[in-house]
Amino acid sequence: MRIDILTVLPEILESPFNCSILKRAQDKGLVEIHIHNLRDYSLDKHKRVDDYAFGGQPGMVMQCEPIDRAISSLKQQRVYDEVIYTTPDGVRFRQPLANRLSLCRNLIILCGHYKGIDYRIREQLITLEISIGDYVLTGGELAAAVMADAIVRLIPGVINDEQSALFDSFQDDLLASPVYTRPSDYKGWKVPDVLLSGHEANIREWELQQAIERTQRLRPDLG
């Protein structure tokens, strides 16, 4: 898989992709993540990418030209499954969407900024508008990093235990059951006996009951 991220603030995206699991996934050749500075596609002599909004609304708007040039240049090189725009008024990013996007070959993620992007780009070039939640971030970079992380970890081989992504919270609309490690007794705080029993069937049943109970209590909307 290849993900191209278009941004006016590439610095924000440096560290999320340059350490730990996402870095290893790139080193192993399981994913390519390319960050592009939209200013490099500006024809303005000051490398401007934004301008005042028509109609006198406050706030700057990202202009068509640099975005169009960046997307066109990428599309000339390969076919993209989706051209995604990060925006609070997009569809909510949930696990099923992450699952679907993890099966794609090539994705573009355009990070919104300022007051937003010229609406003509959304109408003409964007195929999917995504919000990571009902709150407004200063820009789309962190949203792009969240999405890329959730997508890439689903690619086979990216996380060690291939099974474990399948058992994540949300994959079956159930929250995960609690996990514990040694020591089994820390300051009198005890690990549930069943987990120490070695009885596989009882353990699986306990985990399922915990998952159901926690989901009903913490996220009744998922049921």
Contact 15, 148 (CB under 8 A): no
Count Cα atoms within 13 angstroms, Cβ side, for 195: 15
Considering only residues 78 through 117, tell me which ones interact with ligand ADE, judged by CB under 6 A.
86-88, 112
**Closer CB to ligand ADE, residue 66 or residue 116?**
116
Residue 156, Cα to own-chain centre: how many angstroms? Answer: 17
Tokens of 191: 């690990």
**Closer CB to ligand ADE, residue 135 or residue 189?**
135
Q: What is the dihedral of CA 89, 140, 133, 24, to 10 degrees?
A: 140
In whole angstroms, how close is the CB of 107 to ligand ADE at the nearest point?
A: 15
Contact 63, 51 (CB under 8 A): yes
Q: Determine, following the binding rule CB under 6 A, whether residue 6 of this chain makes contact with ligand ADE.
A: no
**Closer CB to ligand ADE, residue 111 or residue 174?**
111
**Closer CB to ligand ADE, residue 108 or residue 211?**
108
Q: Determine, following the binding rule CB under 6 A, whether residue 137 of this chain makes contact with ligand ADE.
A: yes
In whole angstroms, how close is the CB of 138 to ligand ADE at the nearest point?
A: 7
Q: How far apart are CA 22 and CA 16, in angstroms?
A: 8
135, 163, 182, 217: which one binds ligand ADE (CB under 6 A):
135
Give burial (CB, 10 Å; 0-12/13-18/19+) of 135: exposed
Q: Determine, following the binding rule CB under 6 A, whether residue 136 of this chain makes contact with ligand ADE.
A: yes
Q: Determine, following the binding rule CB under 6 A, whether residue 42 of this chain makes contact with ligand ADE.
A: no
